[in-house]
Amino acid sequence: MKVLFVHDHRFACIDNDYYSPGGLPKTVWSRYLNCFEEVIVLGRTLREYNKEKLTISSREKVTFELLDYLETPTNTYRYKYRLKQDIKKIIVEHKINAVIARLPSDLGYAVIDVCKEIVLPYAIEVVACTYDAIANYQFTPWYNYRNLATKILAPFAYRKMQNYVKSANHVIYVTKSFLQNRYPASCSAIVSYASNVELPNFEEDVLNKHISLLEEEQKELRFGMIGNVDVLYKGYDITLEALALIRDEIPHFKLYLVGAGKGDTVKNIAEKLGLTDNIVFVGKLQSGSQVFHFLDKLDLYLHPSRQEGLPRSLVEAMGRGCPCLGSKTAGIPELLPVEFLHDTGDYKKLSKQILNLINSKEKQINAARVNFKKAKEYNITILAERRNAFLNSFYKSVIETSR
């Protein structure tokens, strides 16, 4: 049995091996290979990259099919007929038995349309809110016509994704409730949830070491954020506005930004606020040990995002014993206690929360303990069991359909 995994994710092909910017490493395919004999991955081509910053995605029994003509969302419509034919060709050539479409994604929608036409079983993974993603895509003045046109599309994309999820027989979500409420499945569908974030079983020693760090009297506070620094909906402007309000009330600090991108807009905002010397662009780190080592040195992790599914970086920070503050966006309230949440975009509330934590070692340590305990819910073993049960159910339905 062969399954086609579909998402707009971009992969780089280097010397016949395929690499991911980080979201889909080779380990992720194990969850599908536990049920299916082979996985064919349909994605897009990554043209610009630094190999040292990429993660290997290739492995045995996984084949990649990349499309290089879908550089922009408008190309999905421009090449609609060609895309449909290419999808059908891939399904026939690889003798695909079933499809798993990760939404939101233009490729996912296109493949589901083909599945409906040729009556091919499919399941949907709901990993983010398309409305939030589009509505918060750009933060240019409202009169910028491109920005305005993009925002007008948000409610239409929202309804589109609702319809696709509603029509599926198998749906799995990365949140416990947020995405389920926004994009409900039909009453007859097989539904489950399992975060894409999978943490190793961190020992108590990880927490104890971080608490020791928090207890130290440091000359410089270390704040951190993780995400592409050109993706402005991650809330870099909110963090900078918050820090600008309280810079005279806290010890000297540095904000360390980990992630790909040039960060030109972030640099401009920092310059206007007089925070240029307080920002360090770390660049992209390899998932796993490099990211964990970075998190282990932080006094506070900040996640004021405007758009999310269930943020991996936040769960990882919690799993390393970091005190964390976040917005009330998407699945974030499923992770953090209410006293560590602020309304999306409320930098004034965030600034007060930062002060409240920084001024109390006891509160920092308590937050570290609570976060570490919560992160254990995202242990790879626990999530794997739940996801395997869903995929096994889907696999059995594919078998029944093929008889």
Residue 249 sits in the same domain as residue 363: yes
pLDDT one-digit tens code per residue, 79-96: 999 999 999 999 999 999
Residue 216 sits in the same domain as residue 83: no
pLDDT at 10: 94
Which residues, in sequence order, are bridge partners of residue 258? 226, 283
Which residues, in sequence order, are bridge partners of residue 65? 42
Pairing of strands 2-14, 98-103: parallel
Residue 165 sits in the same domain as residue 252: no
Residue 182 sits in the same domain as residue 38: yes
Q: What span, in angstroms and rounded, lies between the C-alpha atoms of 46 and 157?
A: 24
**DSSP sequence for 131-192:** HHHHHTS--S-TT-HHHHHHHHHHHHHHHHHHHHHHT-SEEEESSSSHHHHHSPPPTTSEEE
Residue 373 sits in the same domain as residue 313: yes
pLDDT one-digit tens code per residue, 323-378: 999 999 989 999 999 999 999 999 999 999 999 999 999 999 999 999 999 999 88
Residue 81 sits in the same domain as residue 147: yes
Residue 273 sits in the same domain as residue 129: no
pLDDT one-digit tens code per residue, 129-172: 998 877 775 544 433 444 555 667 889 999 999 999 999 999 99
Domain of residue 133: give its range: 2-198+380-402
User: Residue 22 sits in a domain of what CATH number?
Assistant: 3.40.50.2000
Does residue 291 contact residue 155 with C-beta atoms inside 8 Å? no
Residue 79 sits in the same domain as residue 97: yes
Counted domains in the chain: 2
HSE-CB of 124 using CA atoms within 13 angstroms: 34
pLDDT one-digit tens code per residue, 252-301: 999 999 998 899 999 999 999 999 999 999 998 887 889 999 999 999 99
Residue 255 sits in the same domain as residue 325: yes
Residue 307 sits in the same domain as residue 342: yes
pLDDT at 143: 38
Residue 76 Cα to chain centre, angstroms: 22
With both helix axes pointing from N to C terminus, report the angle between 236-246 and 347-358 in degrees, rounded to the nearest 10.
60
pLDDT at 132: 84
Residue 110 Cα to chain centre, angstroms: 22
- Residue indicated by tokens 């073993």: 381
Q: Is 87 exposed, middle or buried (0-12, 13-18, 19+ CB in 10 A)?
A: buried
pLDDT at 315: 94
Residue 73 sits in the same domain as residue 181: yes
Residue 152 sits in the same domain as residue 26: yes
